Structure 1
């Protein structure tokens, strides 16, 4: 009997779930998606799922309030006396004991990767961008069979230890798979994208930006804070809320604006759209390092925070002057099936050994 693969999905933001579904859909071997899945569309899962208890503190989030002064140095998050965490790990152990998986893909968690190793299960660990040379990350990297980078190698940081780079399979962006469409109309709209994992936008800031560049329509996708009557918004500003598929909007855009999360950058690269990148604060410099690499490659105009209204005309002009070939070169439409095949190959090799 073919042994299954487990795929652990972190529950911060939607990007981990989206790429897990894309990869699992391409796999021939049975693949169970594992995580706290209540916030996701489980109807979109391509196979079996295991819903885990939430391990976040009652106050919410993963903010280090977990007894850091006594926490073992191999962990990032190990609060004491938290039933959700205890029951979560017990559920993972029970599934492993019953299903006997050939390997576990971990996207992402140092603790789950090390726990799987303790349960004698080989791990493929997703390695996000940023400077992750702290002891917990390095120990998890050391324990894994291979590391998976969900971005092209040219976006990796210069300070990465050589052995980590050598152990990494650079999968490329694991998002939209479509080939780039035709060039947009010169007077096409500006499309602003906010993901679920960040702070989102504010009505006041977006309205000020739209008023500063009145000759273009502004279409905003994702969470936006602040109440406003439609009659008080500038006529060129359109708030769409959460949009499951941003591809059709990007296809019409002359310019995209967004953070440096993998999902947003992947979608912009797939659409071959000029990009103003506004990296959001993330642990280990995940978005700021990636944005710096995009800027170095000429693939984006980067600002460290949301610009003031008066900066937008020049910023839009600079964005429209970019060569879209630079960001398009980062897109591999076959990245997802190639990674699925690589996982299948590693699984087959482990099964045969």
Structure 2
């Protein structure tokens, strides 16, 4: 019987699960998705749903740090007397004992990566963009058979240690397949993902009023209320994001892997508005895009007066530059790399 693999996904945003779903579909062996998955679309997936491990004090925000003075230096988050943490680790251990997985992909958690090593299971640890040279990250990378970067090498930071870079497989953007180029439109498409703050009606209305000759279509969560101009269309969550982006003349979004992968996969002129994230994940990636001439970058939501110039600059971009960052075979190659690694003795 073919041994399956596990794929642990973090619950910040939907990108981790989307990445796992896409690559799992290309694997030649069973794949179980592990994580706190309540509220996510897991249709068609084999899952192990884990209890929430976020703080018990009712705070919605979760920055990965428990603030415990006695926390071991190899860990990011190890709260004491947290039933969710205790139960999720027990369920992972039970699943490993029952299924004997050939490997676990960890996207992302230092604690799960090190726990898998203690359970004697080889791991592939996902390394996101940003400066991740703190001791916990480095120990997770050291424990892994290989490191997987879900972005092109051209977007990596300059401060990555040589041994980490040498151990890294640059898989490229692991997003949905590109859409066939449709008939050109004048649409500006704004995408907000699940992991960020989302948009605000007043900000979007001001932006649309400042560029009144183009339709603005907004996908994803938007808060607030107020009057909106006729050229602003708030669609909320939609199931055909890729198709709508394919019709756009200009894409606007954050610096997360999902939106940047959309821009590259569709070769879309892109205004990148990186959001603040731990380890500078979005800002470092956005800086690399700007250096390459692949995007126009503005930190934070621009004031209304800045939008006409930003839109002109975005429309003047050569879309072939960001399109060159897309590898059509990235998902298939990533799955093949994982399969080849399993075939190596001890995944060493």
TM-score, with length taken from structure 2: 0.96
122-131 or 33-42: bigger deviation: 33-42
Match in the other structure for 2:90: 90
**Is the 2:187–2:249 Cα contact (8 Å) retained in structure 1?**
yes
For 1:164 and 1:180, the matched residues in 2 are separated by 37
Q: Does 1:221 align with 2:216?
A: no
In structure 2, distance between residues paired with 1:161 and 1:36: 31
| Aligned residue among 268, 282, 286 for 1:287 | 282
- Give the aligned partner of residue 81 of structure 1: 81
Q: Which moved more, 1:164-173 or 1:36-45?
A: 36-45
Q: 1:191 aligns with which of 189, 192, 197?
A: 189
Would you say 1:237 and 2:232 are equivalent positions?
Answer: yes
**Per-residue deviation at 1:139?**
0.4
In structure 1, what is the equivalent of residue 318 of structure 2? 323
State the 1:345 CA deviation.
1.1
Which consecutive residues of structure 1, in runs of 5 or more, have no partner in the other structure? Answer: none
Query: 1:307 and 1:114 mapped to 2: Cα distance?
Result: 41
**2:50 — aligned with what?**
52
What is the distance in 1 between the residues matched to 2:279 and 2:28? 35
Partner of 2:293: 298
Question: Where does 1:333-344 land on structure 2 (aligned, <5 Å)?
Answer: 333-344=328-339
Q: Tell me: CA distance 1:146–1:65, structure 2 relative to 1, closer, same or farther (3 Å).
A: closer
Matches of 2:219 and 2:324, distance apart in 1: 25
Query: Partners in 2 of 1:281 and 1:306 — Cα distance?
Result: 12
Compute the displacement of 1:66 (Å). Answer: 2.3
SS at match of 1:42: coil
> Does structure 1 conserve the Cα–Cα contact (< 8 Å) formed by 2:341 and 2:347?
no
- TM (normalized to structure 1)? 0.95
Aligned 8 A contact 2:179 2:243 in 1? no
Aligned length: 346
Partners in 2 of 1:76 and 1:67 — Cα distance? 9
